[in-house]
Amino acid sequence: MARNATPHKTARPRPEKPRRSTGAQSAQTSLGDRFTAWRLHHRDSLYDALGRMRRARASSAMTILVIAIALALPSGLSVLLDNAKVITRGWDGNAHLSVFLKMDTSNQQQQELARQWQQRADIDHTQVITRQQALNEFRKLSGFGDVLEALPDNPLPPLIVVFPDSTDPVSLKALQNRLQDNPSVDMAQLDVEWVRRLHAMIQLGERMITALTLALALAVVLVVVNTIRLAIENRREEIVVVKIVGGTDGFVRRPFLYTGFCFGFAGGLLAVILVQIALWWLGGPINELLSLYNSTDTLATLGAGSLITLPLFSGMLGLLGAWLAVGRHLSEVEPNF
Amino acid sequence: MIQFDRVSKRYPSGKDALSKVSFTLPAGQLTFLTGHSGAGKSTLLKLIMMIERPSQGQVLVDGQNLNGFASRHIPLLRRKIGMVHQNHQLLFDRSVFDNVALPLVIAGYARADIGKRVRAALDKVGLLDKEKLNPIMLSGGEQQRVGIARAVVNKPPLLLADEPTGNLDPQLSAEIMDLFQDFARVGVAVLIATHDLSLIARYRHRLLTLREGRLIHDGEEAAHGA
């Protein structure tokens, strides 16, 4: 039998050729009946799959648990990474440029410049530190007040602290260059390295989770392939009989595809529950960590959408696994006498 | 109903299972197919069911040439053929009713229609009161009759039987044969593969005899030495 040659086409009963037999009148069925039967067979296949999973409780539970663990791991890690992002969003907020103006800039000019910059789209807000304020602060914090007294002039330049709107390294660099071009600016200083490192680490984390997700998704598919292969082996006799009495490949395939989908879906659902339990357990420490970083955010969890999307995604993986198993092993089960 | 035109079948092992076999089975006729095991009976049935394809020659079933018949259409061909097996091939995970209903479910009959037809078929083989039982609770003869009910439930124009009386005593064999003759009488082409010579002798129907893949006899008389 052609292996998966036209899977979709064979999945539904085909209208009988109009030819009539010359012997006893062959029974005919109408298209409407066929559609109803096709729909019912989908429903029956689903019930059949669920019924068989329930009857083989222990082995079904094992398969579902393996799938759930394989999916809970990357989803849990990605939630943790989301939380790391929330924490570092607070750090990003501290990223700023120290723009030192030329010594001859007046206080008025400094104020004016700060006001102009504040209008710009790429700047969130600015803070003016006059030469006098800088001197006072330096005196207070450094303990070199006496040394400064000895100097004839205030050696500190006027400063505008610029808090950028965006904190990604590229736009920070661009902003720095633009400010540097201003004739009143002596130097715009940006310590961007740590922000960069942080972004690189987060990116690395995301990549690793993506790789892990792919590897474990493959594992889910393989688990289902194996489960369905065994199911086909167990139902060999039934498949033979169905093929002898004229069951299409689609008819034979359907219960197995539903079984694969159900395993995947149940595994995904359990994965969501496992992740929620883990987050509930980690929730206290994470929230504490968030508050220590002055973040007003609370623990990020799996979104409400994940309750549906993860089981569906997992169901699709199960379907894929079942499809592969069926394509590979169903054609091996052929009637013989 | 069935036409074989110089059909040969050579298996990949090099064994010639059938050599240039030609015959025609009309509708409404009961025909025996006999020969020692290995003579080619099973291969001949497999060619009709399209479990195997011929190496040479043509097989026509219900006017359709099976050469060039697409694999995905095989189920439609099989729905025209009722097949009765020596070992019944019943499913023990469901009731007698569900076993007999299987071909109708597959062909997409309406639910109400299925009930009617299954009961008609079970009535025909005398098992109407056993529909709810699991076939494992039935005797060998009864199981064989369930198998027959399943084979005829969608009224196929062609009925194949592979050693249908193989495990049955003469009394039960006679009952089974009566059923097959009834089907032939209403226009079904019936082909019974058997090496039960006493059965063949008792019923004097047309007889095809195979020996080492060749059709050595075609007629009412049993061939000597077959």
* pLDDT computed for residue A118 by the predictor: 85
Reported ipTM exceeds the 0.95 cut: no
Q: Give the Cα separation of A279 and A299 in Å (integer).
A: 9
CB-nearest partner of A36 from B76, B110, B158: B110
Q: Give the Cα separation of A80 and A70 in Å (integer).
A: 16
Close Cβ partners of A318 (under 8 Å, ≥ 6 residues apart)? A67, A220, A221, A224, A260, A261, A262, A263, A264, A265, A267
Q: Give the Cα separation of B193 and A10 in Å (integer).
A: 32
Find, among A102, A234, A240, A92, the residue nearest to A167 by Cα.
A92
* pLDDT computed for residue A5 by the predictor: 40
Tell if the CB–CB gap between A10 and B72 is shorter than 8 Å.
yes
Tell if the CB–CB gap between B76 and A246 is shorter than 8 Å.
yes
Distances (CA, A) of A37 to A236, A240, B82, B111, B114: 24, 21, 21, 8, 11
* Angle, CA of A271, A277 and A281, to the nearest 5°: 145
Query: Could you tell me if B23 and B215 are in contact, meaning their C-beta atoms sit under 8 angstroms apart?
Result: yes
Assigned token pair, B18: 């059938």
Query: Could you tell me if B23 and B200 are in contact, meaning their C-beta atoms sit under 8 angstroms apart?
Result: no
**R_g (Cα) of chain A, nearest Å:** 34
* pLDDT computed for residue B134 by the predictor: 95
Distances (CA, A) of A93 to A79, A87, A127, A163: 22, 11, 14, 8
pLDDT, averaged in runs of 10, over chain B (226 residues)? 92 90 92 90 92 92 88 90 90 94 90 92 93 93 93 94 86 90 93 88 90 87 48
* pLDDT computed for residue A213 by the predictor: 92
pLDDT, averaged in runs of 10, over chain A (337 residues)? 40 44 50 81 88 89 95 90 74 73 87 87 85 82 72 84 79 84 85 72 90 94 95 91 91 93 96 91 80 68 81 95 92 80
A241 at B interface, C-beta within 8 A? yes
CA distance A336 to chain B (A): 8
What's the maximum distance between 2 C-alpha atoms anywhere in chain A?
123
* pLDDT computed for residue B132 by the predictor: 94
Instruction: Using an 8 Å CB-CB cutoff, list chain A residues near B102.
Output: 241-242, 245
- Look-up: residue for tokens 């623990």? A299
